[in-house]
Amino acid sequence: MRTPRPARRTLISVTAISATLLAGTTSLALAGTAGAAVPAEKTATTAASAVAAPAERLIVGYKSGAAEAKSNSAASADAKAKGREADESLKFQRRLGTGAALVDLGDRLGKADVADVVAEYQADPQVAYVVPDRLNKPLADPNDTEYSKQWDLFETTAGMRVPGAWGTATGSGVTVAVIDTGYVTHSDLAANIVGGYDFISDTAVAVDGNGRDSNPADPGDWNAEGECDGAPASDSSWHGTHVAGTIAAATNNSKGVAGIAYNAKISPVRVLGKCGGYDSDIIDAITWASGGTVSGIPANSNVAKVINMSLGGGGACSSATQSAINAAVGRGTTVVVAAGNSNANAANYSPASCNNVISVAALNRSGSKASYSNYGSVVDIAAPGGQTSTGTANGILSTLNSGAKTPSTESYAYYQGTSMAAPHIAGLAALMKSASTALTPAQIESGIKTNARALPGTCSGGCGAGLADATKTVQAVSGSGGSTGGTTFTSTSSVSIPDAGSAVESPITVSGRSGNAPSALQVGVDITHTYRGDLVIDLIAPDGTAYRLKASSGSDSADNVKTTYSVNASSETANGTWKLRVQDVAAQDTGTINSWKLTF
């Protein structure tokens, strides 16, 4: 039997505080010692990065046998002591009805300072939990006058459950490029419009009297009978403005409709005019919107992290279009596209069939595939698109213009189509990016699909992962619920860990992923060991960078390490060979790596 090592109080690194502690959980109970539950961080990561927000007060629950659980003076003395250790001024404020202590943090502290204080409490074995005293707000519906008609956002059957996401994110800091017909002035959108561009090079298509320029205003896309390959006469659609309103119409402004990501910005990028638009213009628009360079066009000062393309045509995705999309995604821009409105396999339409996009099918108000919507294996997700044939109010209400040919007065109207479904997903992508700025396009797609709910109705032919669920998805990426989704890679080959010996490694080869690893890469570890305090555990990225998962601890005498660590590996390429490195740094105990896994 080993001689017991001296017990010592260990200050848990602030990286032990998960982002959920200050972002969305109601309690954080200590589960054993710190060594097996400390999320990883790269050496250069700052302590503050583990904390979601500053706080003014903490709620501290003590274990029933602790003096601080019953004595206000003891709780007060403990607060002062922990304040001294964290170099902050803490004050016991009062006892809650549950018996927990409310501790004031003094001057409003930054995230890193709060993390230090929380770490002090977490390190105390007499503390059962420590959580922030969060500020709650009324969950009232927006006061937009037409909000009650936006069934697509909130209805139980087939709504996308958007209101529940607004408490976490509203799209702030994210620009969405709407590659479409341009924008016609509308007071319910104007506050969220930023600079865009008109990429229509053919003056006959442009209608505005010139070619490409910096003015993406929509002059109207009406056509006379037979003017567009024999098509019947059609009034102007103001299509881009309707799409933009679904994404980011101003909200709580006592008028009109509510946007899904109502604090996001819209960059109108005009590619569709009379009779449609050419691939060449769309390719340049994708490039420019995502921050790429287009010859003869000024640099984009409003680079979009999300692109919406509610457009398409027959034929599979071309190499030219695919190249532009790949480059945009490589620059960190999520590309959302409509699946198409031909009630056919989306694999035969572009850009719905392109890789590296989120292809969106449309559902009607009962949650079944809308009769017109394309379907198939290339579809990633479904969202409300409406079906006006069953009643006008069963369409999607958004911003529009009343002009039949040229712009007139602003208005609102119900439309239907996968063109209406796609901006629901673009808006959700903007909410996700706002909630977690490090998310990659692959993570955004994975999060949307993983947190979707089963279709309330039916979809013959395939409508992707199901009906997008905004609340669950945003909670997932913000750390307050849901699932970050992704693919799991596992090693079940056992590796012996020698006593006080050299480090051993267990490899996992990751393939088939695009881009970088996630900012919350999950590392599941199953190690048996008779004194886990001896173990030092690192995750080794394909480029050799080491991420410390667990340090050795002389006071951690429990057996085994069976836990999941979270690693910010967003700077690492996902594909390649990852390794779990384990070393026993003290004598008298041995163990085995039984298995481990990576969840992207």
**Is 180 annotated as catalytic?**
yes
How does pLDDT run across 492-512, given as a tens digit for each residue? 899 999 999 999 999 999 988
Q: Is 496 a catalytic residue?
A: no
pLDDT bucket at 55, cuts 50 / 70 / 90: low
| Measured distance CA(433)–CA(23) in Å, rounded | 16
pLDDT at 571: 86
Question: What is the average pLDDT value for the chain, to the nearest integer?
Answer: 86
Helix (H) or strand (E) run with residue 154 in it: helix 151-154
Predicted confidence (pLDDT) at residue 45 exceeds the cutoff of 70: no
- Domain 147-222+232-479 grouped into CATH 1.10.275.10: no
The residue extents of the domains of the chain are 57-133, 147-222+232-479, 488-599
Mean pLDDT across 35-51: 30
pLDDT at 361 over 50: yes
Q: How far apart are CA 455 and CA 464, in angstroms?
A: 10
Which three-class secondary structure state does DSSP give residue 496? strand
Per-residue pLDDT, 137: 54
Sign of torsion over alpha carbons 296, 301, 302, 305: positive
Report pLDDT for 108.
59
Secondary-structure class of domain 488-599 per CATH: mainly beta
Q: What is the DSSP letter of 533?
A: G
Q: Report the pLDDT value the prediction gives residue 486, as an integer from 0 to 100.
A: 57
Instruction: Choose the catalytic residue: 13, 373, 419, 566.
Output: 419
Cα–Cα distance between 153 and 384 in angstroms, integer? 8
What is the share, in percent, of the chain residues with pLDDT greater than 90?
70
Q: Which of 144, 180, 208, 538 is catalytic?
A: 180
Identified catalytic residue from 239, 242, 424, 529: 239
327 vs 483, higher pLDDT: 327
> Mean pLDDT over residues 531-556, rounded?
90
pLDDT confidence of 6, banded at 50, 70, 90? very low
Q: What percent of the chain has pLDDT above 70?
A: 88
What are the tens digits of pLDDT across the range 229-266? 888 999 999 999 999 999 999 999 999 999 999 999 99
Is residue 53 over pLDDT 70? no
What does the pLDDT read at residue 229?
A: 87
Using CA of residue 379, residue 383, residue 389, residue 390, what is the dihedral sign? positive
d(C-alpha 305, C-alpha 290), whole Å: 7
User: Which residues lie below 8 Å from residue 44, measured CB to CB, with a gap of 6+?
Assistant: none
Residues with Cβ within 8 Å of residue 89, at least 6 apart in sequence: 83, 106, 107
**Residue among 382, 291, 268, 286 nearest 335 (CA):** 286
- Rounded mean pLDDT, 443-448: 93
Look up 538 and say whether it is catalytic: no
The model's pTM: 0.66
pLDDT digits (tens, 9 = 90+) for 460-494: 999 999 999 999 999 988 876 655 555 788 898 99
pLDDT (tens digit per residue) in 131-167: 888 765 555 689 999 999 999 999 999 999 999 999 8
Mark 161-181 as b/e (b = at least 16 C-beta within 10 Å): bbbbbbbbbbbeebbbbbbbb
Which of 75-84, 119-128, 175-184 reaches the highest mean pLDDT?
175-184
* pLDDT for the residue numbered 50: 30
Distances (CA, A) of 83 to 104, 163, 349, 354, 379: 10, 39, 63, 56, 54
The rounded distance, in Å, linking the Cα atoms of 552 and 557 is 11
**Euclidean distance between CA atoms 104 and 120, whole angstroms:** 15
Flag whether pLDDT at 542 surpasses 50.
yes
Average pLDDT on 401-421 reads 98
pLDDT at 48 over 60: no
Residue 333 above 70 pLDDT? yes
The predicted pLDDT at position 117 comes to 87
